[in-house]
């Protein structure tokens, strides 16, 4: 679904005070500081990061305070590292075992965007640093930057892109056992977009103005389900844009009396919302997933990348699909990737290799990770993927034969013969996989890994005496 061949990340330019400025979407170059923001009519800058539940968190400063925020950041509690999915704070991670302390949230100024859907506000991703300005081990964006730097030291460049599936309902139709979909007609039909015509037009406009390039938008398979795919970019940009895309969707939905749910599974028994994560790696400009003589045209390094991902998949998925809603989404037969296997263009495989073709060009090849969703912190998700893949390259792994069937239709014996296993299905199994995996753990760092563990345990404890539908409901509007 992603076109790696058209991978150029566009940075729309705009100038404060021009029509584009008034409409929002003005980019950083034109809005370098607080005064320029204020002149352009921006009243507040929202600094956003994602926590260990994949939930965006934020602080908003008045435009006049933005320059000070660039210099010194704004104070936030270190305990955001141990917030669970329902805003409970767990003290089970001992280094963050008291309510004392403060860290600084620093905007990343060159990523500032005036929001097209909220023209009074600008949006900027944040980095978390210790009170004295030094590195803070729980800063998720920093975790990803380290993996990107590690890849660069090996001469490897990554591209990443997200598919974003979501569910739309009319505001007010959302508090029963099931969320009533905004439209329940044929999947993929143009009438599905017609049902949300004004929203869809605004979304396309605002994504463009906000600098989130997409390949396409469509009415997806599930009732009320829609999808767009963000064009590939370097990993940190891809994660920043995934966060910005959420804000853009929520604003456009609200403007049209709609409500968007990004939850991995919105209604019991229906298809889930996957945020499939596509990655490719290149060396000296050549995509290593094509042009070789390995399976599906992969080079030896490209195959090793895929094999590394496959080897560490249970630990990776503990990061890329970590919530109780995620676990309910991962079922055979739903194209969400429930088993550890890879396949060429196999939509039931958790790792789908999308090969290059003469039509699409050598740059097109990429690996799609299906067990990935909104509950993943996008920076940690990409860091886990890159770390697992680089591990495969360092160890010179080769991938097993691809699986071209639905492994869910195989017998347990046949799966075992092919080394195909069900991905962890409980929090305990996921944490076992994560904590037992040296590569993904090292990428996250010991402090963050343990905080992440504590948060997952807290989520599980909260769900212990509740039925599955009740648990699902509690995740609907978090992301």
Residue ranges in contact with Mg ion by CB under 5 A:
227
Stretch that binds ligand GLU, among 177-185, 209-217, 268-276, 449-457 (CB under 6 A): 268-276
Task: Give the three-class secondary structure for 5.
Answer: helix
- Rank residues 80 and 335 by Cβ distance to ligand GLU and give the closer one: 335
Gap between the Cα atoms of 394 and 304, Å rounded: 8
Give residue 363's Cα distance to chain centre.
22
Buried b / exposed e over 95-120, threshold 16 CB at 10 Å, is ebeeeeeebbbbbbbebbbbbbbbbe
- Minimum CB separation of residue 151 from ligand GLU in Å reads 26
Alpha helices in 40-196, H assignment, sequence order: 66-72, 140-153, 190-194
Across 3-135, where does the E strand assignment appear? 44-50, 56-62, 74-76, 103-107, 113-114, 121-130
Q: Using CB under 6 A, which of 14, 272, 392, 407 touches ligand GLU?
A: 272
- Rank residues 129 and 217 by Cβ distance to Mg ion and give the closer one: 217
- Rank residues 320 and 437 by Cβ distance to ligand GLU and give the closer one: 320
335 binds ligand GLU (CB under 6 A): yes
CB-count burial class (<10 Å; 0-12, 13-18, 19+) for 155:
exposed
The entry of ligand GLU, Mg ion, none near residue 246 (CB within 5 to 8 angstroms by kind) is none
Stretch that binds ligand GLU, among 62-70, 137-145, 147-155, 333-341 (CB under 6 A): 333-341
Gap between the Cα atoms of 54 and 474, Å rounded: 15
- Minimum CB separation of residue 262 from Mg ion in Å reads 13
**Which residue of this chain has its Cβ atom nearest to Mg ion in the complex?**
227
329 binds ligand GLU (CB under 6 A): yes
295 binds ligand GLU (CB under 6 A): no
DSSP assigned state of 133: S
- Minimum CB separation of residue 273 from ligand GLU in Å reads 6
- Minimum CB separation of residue 273 from Mg ion in Å reads 9
| Dihedral, CA of residue 14, residue 275, residue 77 and residue 85, to nearest 10 | 140
The entry of Mg ion, ligand GLU, none near residue 318 (CB within 5 to 8 angstroms by kind) is none
- Rank residues 2 and 48 by Cβ distance to Mg ion and give the closer one: 2
- Minimum CB separation of residue 275 from ligand GLU in Å reads 8
Q: Using CB under 6 A, which of 79, 271, 354, 444 touches ligand GLU?
A: 271
Q: Residue 247's closest CA among 461, 464, 58?
A: 58
- Minimum CB separation of residue 214 from ligand GLU in Å reads 15
167 binds ligand GLU (CB under 6 A): no
In the numeric block, the tokens 């993904």 are attached to 440
Beta-bridge partner residues of 353: 344, 367
Binding residues among 339-398 for ligand GLU as defined by CB under 6 A: 347, 370
Gap between the Cα atoms of 118 and 254, Å rounded: 11
80 binds ligand GLU (CB under 6 A): no
Binding residues among 5-24 for ligand GLU as defined by CB under 6 A: none
- Minimum CB separation of residue 211 from ligand GLU in Å reads 25
Gap between the Cα atoms of 342 and 417, Å rounded: 15
Stretch that binds ligand GLU, among 64-72, 271-279, 306-314, 384-392 (CB under 6 A): 271-279
- Rank residues 160 and 298 by Cβ distance to Mg ion and give the closer one: 160
8 Å CB contact between 21 and 15: yes
Q: Using CB under 6 A, which of 139, 165, 301, 459 touches ligand GLU?
A: 165
Stretch that binds ligand GLU, among 26-34, 288-296, 329-337, 429-437 (CB under 6 A): 329-337
- Rank residues 103 and 249 by Cβ distance to ligand GLU and give the closer one: 249
User: Two tokens at 48?
Assistant: 């956003």
- Minimum CB separation of residue 266 from ligand GLU in Å reads 11
Gap between the Cα atoms of 388 and 438, Å rounded: 10
Element (H, E) at 428: helix 427-435
8 Å CB contact between 42 and 118: no
166 binds ligand GLU (CB under 6 A): no
- Residue ranges that bind ligand GLU, judged by CB under 6 A: 165, 271-272, 274, 329, 334-336, 347, 370
């Amino acid at each position: 679904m992603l076109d790696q061949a058209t991978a150029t990340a566009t940075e729309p330019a705009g100038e404060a005070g021009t029509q584009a400025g008034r409409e929002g979407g003005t980019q950083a170059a034109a809005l370098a500081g607080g005064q320029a923001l204020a002149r352009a009519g921006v009243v507040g800058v929202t600094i956003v990061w994602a926590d260990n539940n994949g939930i965006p968190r934020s602080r908003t400063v008045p435009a006049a305070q933005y320059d000070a925020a660039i210099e010194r950041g704004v104070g936030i509690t270190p305990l955001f590292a141990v917030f669970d999915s329902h805003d409970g704070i767990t003290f089970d991670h001992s280094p963050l075992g008291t309510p004392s302390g403060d860290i600084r949230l620093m905007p990343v100024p060159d990523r500032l965007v005036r929001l097209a859907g909220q023209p009074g506000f600008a949006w900027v991703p944040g980095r978390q640093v210790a009170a004295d300005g030094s590195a803070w081990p729980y800063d998720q964006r920093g975790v990803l930057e380290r993996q990107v730097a590690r890849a660069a030291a090996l001469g490897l460049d990554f591209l990443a892109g997200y598919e974003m599936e979501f569910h739309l309902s009319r505001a007010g139709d959302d508090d029963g056992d099931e969320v009533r979909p905004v439209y329940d007609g044929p999947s993929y039909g143009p009438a599905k977009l017609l049902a949300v015509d004004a929203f869809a037009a605004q979304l396309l406009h605002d994504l463009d103005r906000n600098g989130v390039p997409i390949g396409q938008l469509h009415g997806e398979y599930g009732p009320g389900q829609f999808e767009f795919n963000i064009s590939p970019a370097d990993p940190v940009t891809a994660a920043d844009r995934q966060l910005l895309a959420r804000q853009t969707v929520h604003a456009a939905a609200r403007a049209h009396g709609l409500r968007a749910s990004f939850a991995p599974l919105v209604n019991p028994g229906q298809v889930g919302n996957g945020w499939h994560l596509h990655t490719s790696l290149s060396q000296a400009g050549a995509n290593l997933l094509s042009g070789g003589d390995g399976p599906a045209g992969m080079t030896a390094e490209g195959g090793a990348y895929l094999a590394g991902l496959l080897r560490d998949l249970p630990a990776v998925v503990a990061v890329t699909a970590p919530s109780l809603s995620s676990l309910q989404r991962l079922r055979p037969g739903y194209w969400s990737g429930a088993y550890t296997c890879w396949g060429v263009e196999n939509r039931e495989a958790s790792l789908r290799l999308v090969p290059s073709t003469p039509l699409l060009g050598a740059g097109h090849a990429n690996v799609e990770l299906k067990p990935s969703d909104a509950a993943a912190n996008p920076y940690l998700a990409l860091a886990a993927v890159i770390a697992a893949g680089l591990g495969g390259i360092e160890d010179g792994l080769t991938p097993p034969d691809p699986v071209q069937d639905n492994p869910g239709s195989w017998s347990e014996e046949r799966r075992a013969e092919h080394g195909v296993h069900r991905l962890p299905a409980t929090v305990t199994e996921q944490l076992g996989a994560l904590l037992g995996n040296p590569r993904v753990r090292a990428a996250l760092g010991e402090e963050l890994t343990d905080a992440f563990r504590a948060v997952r345990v807290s989520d599980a404890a909260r769900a212990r005496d509740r039925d599955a539908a009740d648990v699902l409901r509690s995740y609907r509007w978090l992301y």
